[in-house]
Each structure stands twice: as C-alpha cells, then as structure tokens.
Chain A
Amino acid sequence: MRKYILSYLMISISLTLLLTACWDQRLLRDHSLILAIGYDREKPDKILKTVSFPAPESQSNDVQGQGNASSTSEIVSTIGNTVKDAEKKLDNTIPEKFDRSKTRLVIFGEELAKEGIFSTLDSIYRDLRGPINAYTAIFTGTAQEALSIQADESILTSDMYAELIDSAEHSGIIKNYTISQTRPLMLAQGMDLVLPLLSLDKNDKPQIVGTALFQGDKMTGTLDTKETIIFLMLADKVTENLAINLQVSEEHEEPDKNFVNIDIRSIKRKLNVETKGNQVKANVEVDLTVEIDEYAEDHLDNKKRSDSLEKKIQQKLEKIAEQTIQKLQEAGNDSLAIGEKVRAYHHSTWQDLDWEETYKDMEIESSFKVDITHHGIIN
C-alpha cells in the first residue's frame, strides 16, 4: 500500500510540473526594460507617455552573449486616453514587450503636474510589479523634452537623472520621494507633498532648479534652490552634510570676502503651534551648529567677530525663511506639517477649521539660532 502512495505522489508531482504550460513565464530577453517614464498632458485631454529604455545592441560586429550593458537610450512616445491606454499602444511600437518594473524615475511635465498627478500614478499603485520605489520629479517643460536629451556616450538618460537627484539628496539640497511615499502625502490632511523640480540649462544639461510645491496632488508653486535648503531645515528634512553659501556683508571690495560658506554639523528643529479660538499661530525654531568652510575675512578666533558673524548668518537665514514660508502659504502647501500638529494636539480646533483657508492666512514665525563650533583647521 505504501508503495502505491509513493507512485501516486510521483505521478501527481510530475503532472503538476509538466502540465503547468509555462505558467506565467516572462523571459527577460523578451522584454524591453523601461528605465524612466515621462507623463505629459497632450491637449486637450489625452496623456502623452514617453518611455526611455536602453537601445538594443547593434548586432552587426559585436560579439554576442558577451553581456555588455547598452549605454545609449532610446525613447518612444505614445498618446492615449489614460496611462494604460498609452502603454498598450507602446507595445505595438517595438518588437519586444515593455516592462516597467525596473523603472528608476518618473517625470511629470509641469503642465500635467498642475492638473494633478494622482490619476496618472493610479495604475502603478495597482500593479503587482509596479515600480513603486522609483523616484518622482517634476520638469519645467514637458517630460518628453526631458527624456529626449542626448546624454553623454557612457550613461543612460535615466541613470543621469536618477543619479542627479540621488546625489542632490545626499548633499541635502532636495528631498526625494518614491512613488509609494507620494501617495500618503497626496491624500493626507495636514501634510503635503514636495517634489524635486528639474530643468535644462542652456547646454541642454539637466539640473535641479528647486522644489515643486503641491496642494493635494496638484502643483501650485515652486521654491528655488536656496529656499529649498531653508525649507528642508524648517521642515526637519535635512538628512546629512548640508552646506549653504550666504552673503553676510556688502562693504568689501574683494567680492569673495562678502560671503561665508557654512557646513551644518547638527540641526535641531522645534515646531510650536498655539491656538487661540480659531486663531492658529506657529513658530519654528531652528538650532544650528555650524562649521565655517570658507570665510576669507577670517579672525574667527576673536569672540566678538565670531559672535557678530553668527548674528549675521542668523539674520540672513531668517530673511530667506520668511520668504520661503510666504511662498509655501501662497501655494497652500503645508509640508511643514503644521496641520498635522493641529490635528493631533488641538483636535477640537481642527474640526472647526477649514484648514486650507486658515493655513493661507495664519501667522508662521521662524527663528534661527546659529552656533559656530568649528572653523576648519586654522586658528
């Protein structure tokens, strides 16, 4: 009897394995890997989808199977009613099937971003193999334009963008969000999304020009790079080694001596929210410990001079901060998460408020405290 059980088992195992009809095999060699996607609004109500993928190797004199990764990008654009519609049409344009699971970057054209990005991302959130850890960025123009640039010989367009924003985040200039991280920020009350803003310079090289501010899923304003840095400090999103260049005087003839470059060693931020009736007041305090990287004026061993420099830096920072907060309020972008704080600690007030309206007019103060602890290895 035992032997029969064994033979039935063997038959059933071999049948399961042999009759699977290749299940859902997806061979890597039959798929073209999309590495960057761009979405644009095609007037009046269509989606223009642009994908960038590594160009197939030229088959002529190359040794096959040698495994050289292609280093030139190719792009294809199609127009559809929705993202998936456009995607379906994409597959008809090349011999292989497209696969977007390895996408590193999703770029939105500014125009589409202003109309809202949530419905565009919907298909990615639903997809089992959706690239939910791809970075998102906004481009001041059309995404098609962004992906059409001819990168250097040795690097893929997608890599160039991805590494650009990656290294920018490492040096603390911007904050990146992956597609999965954008979703809660778009939907949450009392928190908002910011995304890196890219552009092309005169030589058609991509660069970071600041931050795009969102209200819900719609882009409503921008910050430039300096404001972005201050914004990141205010929002407590500075990750590491951030450096800022500030003009602290105007009197020197040598222009270099008017500037100071500071490297932030540690940062402490405190957000205080007060409510009085339906009045909400917020105060952001930032404590900075800084190292002076570059200050040609020098003599920082002198306590007085050092104190006055600290003061100058503080004033300068506060001035930019004021400007930044104003822009945030104009855009209706509450990415300092003041709303969240009100909702958590002053819930009864929150229930009475129309937060979007309140936020635009509320009073937000900011104060900086700078402490110079290092000034390099001299004096």
Chain B
Amino acid sequence: MLSFLKNLFSQKEPEVQPTHATQSVYTSIDENIHYIKQGLYESDDIQIQKMTIQNKQSVIIYLETMVKTEQIQQNFLDPLMDESIELDNKINQLLANPDFKQENQLDQVIHSMIQGNCVLYFEGETHCYLLNSPQATHRSPDEPPNEKTIRGSHKGFIEDLDSNINFVRKRIQNPQLTVKYITKGDEENIKIAILYINGIANEETIAQVKERIEAISTDMIFSPGYIEEMIEEKQFSPFQQVLLTERPDRVDANLIEGRVAILTEGATDTLIVPVSFFTFFQSPDDYNNKYLAGSFFRILRLFSFLGALTLPAIYIAVVGFHFETIPYKMVGLVKGSIESIPFSPLSEALVMTITIELIREAGIRLPSPIGQTIGIVGGLIIGESVVNAGIISNIMVIVIALTAIMSFVIPVYELGNTVRLLSIPVMIGAATLGFVGIIFAFMIIAIHMCSIESFGTPYLSPLTPTRFSEFKDGIVRVPSWMMNRRPKDIQPQKKIFQKDSREWDNNE
C-alpha cells in the first residue's frame, strides 16, 4: 500500500545539472562590468563607481544592499588613495588583511558579491580584488521564548551561524571542540556546521551524522526541520527523534555528554543527536534547582506525558464501559453531569480536543494582546457556555483542559504536539473496546517506541535496555556530584565524566 502511495506522489523529472562556466577576469574594465552585470541579471542594486587611484584607472562594483560602504572607504580606499606609498606596495600590505583577497575567476567574483564583497579592479590586470565588508544586522541573543528557564543562562541562539558557534565556543573553551562545515544545496548556498567534542563523541555517530547530511540533496533548506526529517531513522514516526533547541547552554551540556550538534546558517534551532525519549523531559532548570525539586519536576513531566496520553481515553472507557470503577462518592456526581449530554463520550472528547487545539493555534499566530483575548473568549466563555448549554459535560471539560495543560508541561514543544495527536487514537481505542482498547493502543505505541533507534541509541534507553544506574539522570535527577559517568547509550569514548567532586568531605 505504501509503495503504491509513493508511486502516486513521486513525479519523475529529468535531472538538470547546473553548468558552472569558468570565466577568468577580462583585461578591460568595461568587459568585466558587462560580465558581472549579466551574471547578476542587471539587478538594480549593483553600484558601479569608476575612479582613478594613483593614476590608475579602476572601478569598484558592489551590491549596495549587501555592503557596508563606510567600512570600504575607511579600511581600503583611504589607504589606497594615500599617495605617499606606492600602489603595489600598498596592495601587498593590504593582502595581509583577511578581508582583502585576490581573485581571478569571474564567477567566483559574482558569488562572493552576493555574500557581501566589493570588487575592486584595476585596468589591464588579469585579476581583481575582493573587499569583504558585509552589511549584517544581528539581533541580540535573547532568551528563546519557548525554552524559558528561571535560573541559569538566559542566552539564546540568533540567526547567524558564526555568532552561534561563537556562543558555544565561549562556553567550551577546549581545543577538542570541533566544527565541521558542510555546504549543501544545488547552488552551494546552505552552510551547515557539525559540532562535536573530539575524544568524547562516538566516532561512529559522527561519521553517521556526516554521511546523512552529505546525502541531503535539495535546493534550499528552509528550516532545521528539513534536516531533521532527512536524517532521522523512522521517517513516519510521530515521535521526535532529534532534539531541537535554541539554548547554547543546552547544546554545551549535550556536547560534553558526547552528543553531536548540527547548526544551520540562518536558523536559531540547533539539532542534537543521538537522543533518547527521556532527553525530552530534561530542562536546564532541573540542574539549577536542588536535586529533590529537580527530580520531582522531572517525574511530574513523565506523569503528565502519560496523563496527556491516557486521561481522556480513561474517562471515555470509564463512562462508556466500566463505570463500576468510579469511586462510590463520585459516581453520583459523574452520573449527574453526563445525564443529559446528547453526544457519545468519544465525540464529546473529540469536539473539546479540537476546540482546544483551535484556541491554541489561533493564539500562537496573533499578537499577544489579541492572543489573550482569544484565550479568554475560547477558554472561559466557550468552556462555560458549552457546559451550560448541556452539550459537553463539565467533567469532560475538566479532563480535556487537564490533558492540554499536561501536554504543555513537556519542555520540548514538539513532543507535546505528538502527545496530543497520539491521544486521539488512544481515545478511539477506548471508545471501541474500553480499557482493553487502551491497552491495545498502548501496546502498539510501546512496540513502536522500542523499535526506534536514534543514531544507534535505543530510543527508550535507559528504560529498555534497562540500566538502573542511568536512571540517575535519565528519569530522576540525583545530586550533580553523583553523576560521574556519561550516559552509556550514546557510547561516548570517554566514559568518566567526573571523579569524586566532594573529596574534601571524605577526610572528616
């Protein structure tokens, strides 16, 4: 069936290979100007300025939208205009500057103009000079709004790859931190950086990451989600298999544990592999809290995952099949509330779930003052009147609202979405077979989760394969001086993370 679907959607197109003509620099100004103009398709933001520098005819060509002109003037043109030093000597001097390069391929020249270079050409020469002074606006590294923490670092990645790597290096000042660039896309326009710590990260994992990223063949990567879908193992799985984060501190912690980070130019999200299911329940805040609070919140999140998945289903199963399991003191209350509801429990739950999803979706895209209004209108007014009108029972409203809250507790937003989506098949199971149906749905989900591997790491590790010693950081959060070993599931080269950090305490 699947292969049929695949055939249906894939339309074969003849492969077009882009031709890269190699044209060296012409010897006349006009020819060069003409070629560059043609190469940029007569774009209107091309600026051409002819001038004479120390009696030599010359021209500078640049894209005014990409170049910071004052800097060019200050750093390059002013020194060149200085007549006290001979021009050739001056140029030789300037070539020591990494922003001043010599180039003799015109196509390369055009390509670098797009990246913010300015072209300087002297009449009669067979090469030109590229003056690098890109115009760039960076926003400040604010804390990402979807990964807020109470304590700890409040820095977030920005849309500039170099700055992002800078943030990581600033925190891990270690020569072993390795950055590997891979340029992707048919026009060679996407820069991807793979970061790992040599000597800690598993070499096989690194090789696998490189291999999978090399294999990507696309014109444009619009978002890290593209890379994610191309490198993850189970391509149809509803579960997140790559950790997306915008926090430098999270990336650092994971790098030091032996994972690999993938950064992309123009994106704030960093991909971290390999991950296990329980990684998604860890928040940097856990480590800033005391260990008891950290463990408590982490277990709370695990429970809310289970709750978000099962609560509506359990409610449906109980009122539809097994109402003898309701405690005696509650049964009258429940009965009173669903007595006159016209819908079946399943449709009741679906209507409410979809309503909540609508409110959420509407709230995200709107500016915050209107978003709040939507929250109030949706949450309070609809919730209240739907019950008053007798369409939905108030217990169902409680259950669905609780489910929504539980799904938002999970620190990784994507996994919260997964849970809310998965709760629907579980509900259908509950509505057809009661508790047995929930068990069926759970079995299918569990079997699927057991079968996932993320870059050689079992997804449910450390639960299966069971390694109780790793519950220390996987499921609860023990005091930091007890976490002496790196997680085994990512097979780091260096297993010991720290020695006894409370040695001072032993002598007493």
Residues A23 and B432 in contact, CB atoms below 8 Å apart? yes
Shortest CB-to-CB span from B440 to chain A, Å, is 8
Whose C-beta in chain A lies nearest to the C-beta of B325? A101
Q: Point out residues on B near A: beta carbons under 8 Å.
A: 1-3, 318-321, 323-324, 326, 328, 331-341, 344-345, 387-395, 428-429, 432-434, 437, 440, 444
The one of B3, B337, B437, B444 in contact with A67, judged by C-beta atoms closer than 8 angstroms, is B337
Q: In the complex, A22 Cα to B387 Cα: how many Å?
A: 26
| Chain A residues within 8 Å of chain B by Cβ, number | 38
Give the dominant DSSP class at B's interface: helix
The one of A57, A59, A67 in contact with B394, judged by C-beta atoms closer than 8 angstroms, is A67
The answer to the question of A65 belonging to the interface, with a C-beta cut-off of 8 Å to chain B, is yes
Shortest CB-to-CB span from A23 to chain B, Å, is 6
Whose C-beta in chain B lies nearest to the C-beta of A11? B1
Given known pairs A28-B319, A29-B341, the reply for A69 and B391 (CB within 8 Å) is no
Given known pairs A28-B319, A70-B332, the reply for A7 and B345 (CB within 8 Å) is no
Q: In the complex, A350 Cα to B336 Cα: how many Å?
A: 56
Against B, the Cβ 8 Å flags (1 = close, 0 = not) of A89-132 are 00000000001011010000000000000000000000001000
Residues B337 and A7 in contact, CB atoms below 8 Å apart? no
Q: In the complex, A104 Cα to B344 Cα: how many Å?
A: 28
The one of A4, A54, A59, A69 in contact with B340, judged by C-beta atoms closer than 8 angstroms, is A59
A 1-42 contacts with B by CB, 8 A: 3-4, 6-7, 10, 13, 16-18, 20, 22-29, 31, 33
Residues B394 and A66 in contact, CB atoms below 8 Å apart? yes
Residues A29 and B332 in contact, CB atoms below 8 Å apart? no
The one of A6, A24, A70 in contact with B321, judged by C-beta atoms closer than 8 angstroms, is A24
Q: In the complex, A377 Cα to B330 Cα: how many Å?
A: 42
Residues A101 and B328 in contact, CB atoms below 8 Å apart? no
Residues B335 and A28 in contact, CB atoms below 8 Å apart? yes
Chain B residues, Cβ within 8 Å of A184:
none
Residues A33 and B320 in contact, CB atoms below 8 Å apart? no
Residues B393 and A67 in contact, CB atoms below 8 Å apart? yes
Residues B324 and A101 in contact, CB atoms below 8 Å apart? yes
The answer to the question of A378 belonging to the interface, with a C-beta cut-off of 8 Å to chain B, is no
Q: In the complex, A270 Cα to B180 Cα: how many Å?
A: 84
Residues B433 and A102 in contact, CB atoms below 8 Å apart? no
Chain A residues, Cβ within 8 Å of B392:
65
Chain B residues, Cβ within 8 Å of A7:
1-2
A-B contact pairs, 10 of them (CB 8 A): A10-B1, A26-B320, A29-B335, A33-B331, A54-B335, A56-B339, A64-B389, A68-B333, A70-B336, A102-B324
Residues B319 and A27 in contact, CB atoms below 8 Å apart? yes
Q: In the complex, A68 Cα to B444 Cα: how many Å?
A: 38
Whose C-beta in chain A lies nearest to the C-beta of B398? A67
Shortest CB-to-CB span from B326 to chain A, Å, is 8
Instruction: Knowing that A6-B2, A17-B432 touch, tell me 12 more A-B residue pairs with CB under 8 angstroms.
Output: A13-B440, A17-B428, A17-B433, A17-B440, A23-B434, A28-B320, A28-B326, A65-B388, A66-B387, A67-B393, A68-B333, A69-B333
The one of B318, B387, B432 in contact with A65, judged by C-beta atoms closer than 8 angstroms, is B387
Residues B319 and A29 in contact, CB atoms below 8 Å apart? yes
Q: In the complex, A274 Cα to B136 Cα: how many Å?
A: 104
Chain A residues, Cβ within 8 Å of B388:
63, 65-66
Chain B residues, Cβ within 8 Å of A68:
333, 336
Chain B residues, Cβ within 8 Å of A22:
432
Shortest CB-to-CB span from B460 to chain A, Å, is 21
Whose C-beta in chain A lies nearest to the C-beta of B317? A25
Whose C-beta in chain B lies nearest to the C-beta of A8? B1
Chain B residues, Cβ within 8 Å of A65:
337-341, 387-394
Given known pairs A3-B2, A22-B432, the reply for A67 and B340 (CB within 8 Å) is no
Residues A17 and B437 in contact, CB atoms below 8 Å apart? yes
Residues A27 and B337 in contact, CB atoms below 8 Å apart? no
Chain A residues, Cβ within 8 Å of B444:
13
Chain A residues, Cβ within 8 Å of B328:
102, 104
Chain B residues, Cβ within 8 Å of A23:
321, 432-434
Most buried by B among A3, A57, A65: A65
Residues B338 and A54 in contact, CB atoms below 8 Å apart? no
Chain B residues, Cβ within 8 Å of A26:
320-321, 323
Q: In the complex, A239 Cα to B195 Cα: how many Å?
A: 69
A 49-95 contacts with B by CB, 8 A: 54, 56-57, 59, 63-70
Chain A residues, Cβ within 8 Å of B326:
28, 102
Residues B334 and A28 in contact, CB atoms below 8 Å apart? yes
Q: In the complex, A33 Cα to B319 Cα: how many Å?
A: 13
Chain B residues, Cβ within 8 Å of A28:
318-320, 323, 326, 334-335, 338
Chain A residues, Cβ within 8 Å of B338:
28-29, 65
Most buried by A among B318, B339, B387, B391: B339
Chain A residues, Cβ within 8 Å of B323:
26, 28, 31, 99, 101-102
Shortest CB-to-CB span from B491 to chain A, Å, is 27
Chain B residues, Cβ within 8 Å of A13:
440, 444
Most buried by B among A31, A69, A104: A69
Q: In the complex, A150 Cα to B432 Cα: how many Å?
A: 41
Whose C-beta in chain A lies nearest to the C-beta of B332? A69
Q: In the complex, A226 Cα to B392 Cα: how many Å?
A: 53
Chain B residues, Cβ within 8 Å of A31:
323
Whose C-beta in chain A lies nearest to the C-beta of B319? A28
Shortest CB-to-CB span from A164 to chain B, Å, is 15
Residues B319 and A67 in contact, CB atoms below 8 Å apart? no
Most buried by B among A17, A29, A70: A29
Most buried by B among A13, A33, A63, A68: A33
Chain B residues, Cβ within 8 Å of A20:
432-433
Whose C-beta in chain B lies nearest to the C-beta of A67? B337
Q: In the complex, A129 Cα to B323 Cα: how many Å?
A: 10
Whose C-beta in chain B lies nearest to the C-beta of A96? B339
Chain B residues, Cβ within 8 Å of A56:
339
Shortest CB-to-CB span from A35 to chain B, Å, is 8
Residues B321 and A67 in contact, CB atoms below 8 Å apart? no
Q: In the complex, A20 Cα to B431 Cα: how many Å?
A: 10
Shortest CB-to-CB span from B145 to chain A, Å, is 37
Q: In the complex, A105 Cα to B52 Cα: how many Å?
A: 109
Q: In the complex, A68 Cα to B387 Cα: how many Å?
A: 13
Q: In the complex, A67 Cα to B339 Cα: how many Å?
A: 8
Shortest CB-to-CB span from B10 to chain A, Å, is 15
The one of B318, B336, B390, B393 in contact with A69, judged by C-beta atoms closer than 8 angstroms, is B336
Whose C-beta in chain A lies nearest to the C-beta of B395? A67
Residues A129 and B433 in contact, CB atoms below 8 Å apart? no
Whose C-beta in chain B lies nearest to the C-beta of A19? B432
Residues A27 and B1 in contact, CB atoms below 8 Å apart? no
